[in-house]
Structure 1
Amino acid sequence: MPPDADQPLDVLLGRALRSMRHTWTAQPEELDLAPHQGRALMIVAESGPLRLSELAERLRIAPRSATEVADALQERGLVTRSADPSDRRAVLLSVTEAGQHAAGAVAESRRAGAEAFFGRLSAADRASLTRILTTLLQD
């Protein structure tokens, strides 16, 4: 359905975000990762060792679901689990070397998707959109 300029801003923004999200789901085929797995891998790669509970918080999913995501990433050799030295009941996730490379490929894929999405805008429009979104996101 083509956009209608008479639609409310929240509807247009929601449609734009869904469209952009579709570009993010196109992970590099050789990685064979679901979008949520790619996002989880990027979080672990960027944050260093972190607890499963923290990964669940950042992904906004239940801890049980975070365990399933971590299981899938560990099976592929992208993350490892270890006991948290400050609380042996807790598990820390760390990215492996292969995971670091995969996270970089996911990030590059997302950057390329964003470039394709925003590439339709002029430099001035991008600057305006950046300014507007920054203003809206200020607390």
Structure 2
Amino acid sequence: MSIPNADADGVLAEQLLRLTRRLHRIQKQHLEPVGITPAQSRLLRTVSHYPEPPRMADIAARLEVVPRAVTSLVDALEESGRVRRVPDPTNRRVVRIELTDDGRTTLRALRNARRGAAEEILAPLSADQREVLGGLLSALVDGALERKC
């Protein structure tokens, strides 16, 4: 069993950070025509994954942010017509967030923007290299999830 080289791990960590920053920049460029911020995009995707409209506290927990941050995002998305606040049918003090038709249209545009960003960043890789990278990234993500649980 070999001991990982700390210098090599440091270089790899730096490469991953640079790649992450580049990915964020490219995604932001692809999101600009949609007229939405990356944080608003995350909120829309999060809301879309719930079987019924979630509470703002549910969204905050899923996004791992404070509830006030969700309120600001929902305010902006509601103003643009992409989400709406609806009363909870069982507890009138609870407000739920649901996607509007414009919100669903925006999600489709976001998927296209993300696909375009992915194509741009992965362009230098062959299909085989992409498959290997996917396996490596899955191993890293799965390992992080196992430690978190």
- RMSD value over aligned CA atoms? 1.7
1:54 matched to 2:58? The reply is: yes
Contact 1:23–1:110 at 8 Å: present in 2 too?
no
User: Displacement, 1:72?
Assistant: 0.6
1:60-99 counterparts in 2 under 5 A?
A: 60-99=64-103
What TM-score does the superposition give when structure 1 sets the normalisation length? 0.86
Residue 35 of structure 1 aligns with an amino acid whose one-letter code is: P
Residue 100 of structure 1 aligns with an amino acid whose one-letter code is: R
Residue 57 of structure 1 aligns with an amino acid whose one-letter code is: A
Residue 70 of structure 2 aligns with an amino acid whose one-letter code is: A
Structure with the largest fraction of helix: 2
Residue 50 of structure 1 aligns with an amino acid whose one-letter code is: P
Partner Cα separation in structure 1 for residue 47 and residue 127 of structure 2: 33
User: Displacement, 1:57?
Assistant: 2.1
For residues 59-82 of structure 1, give each alpha carbon's deviation from its aligned partner in whole angstroms, at most 9, with x where no partner exists.
Answer: 222101100100111111111111
Q: Which has the larger radius of gyration?
A: 2
Kindly, what percent of the aligned residue pairs are identical?
32
Gaps of 5+ in 1: 1-5
Structure with the largest fraction of strand: 1
User: Displacement, 1:95?
Assistant: 0.2
Residue 118 of structure 1 aligns with an amino acid whose one-letter code is: L
2:43 to 36, 40, 44: 40
1:6-45 counterparts in 2 under 5 A?
A: 8-26=11-29, 27-29=31-33, 31-45=34-48
1:119 matched to 2:123? The reply is: yes
What TM-score does the superposition give when structure 2 sets the normalisation length? 0.81
Residue 128 of structure 2 aligns with an amino acid whose one-letter code is: A
User: Displacement, 1:50?
Assistant: 1.1
2:138 to 130, 134, 137: 134
- CA spacing shift, 1:57–1:24, aligned 2, 3 Å: farther
Gaps of 5+ in 2: 1-7
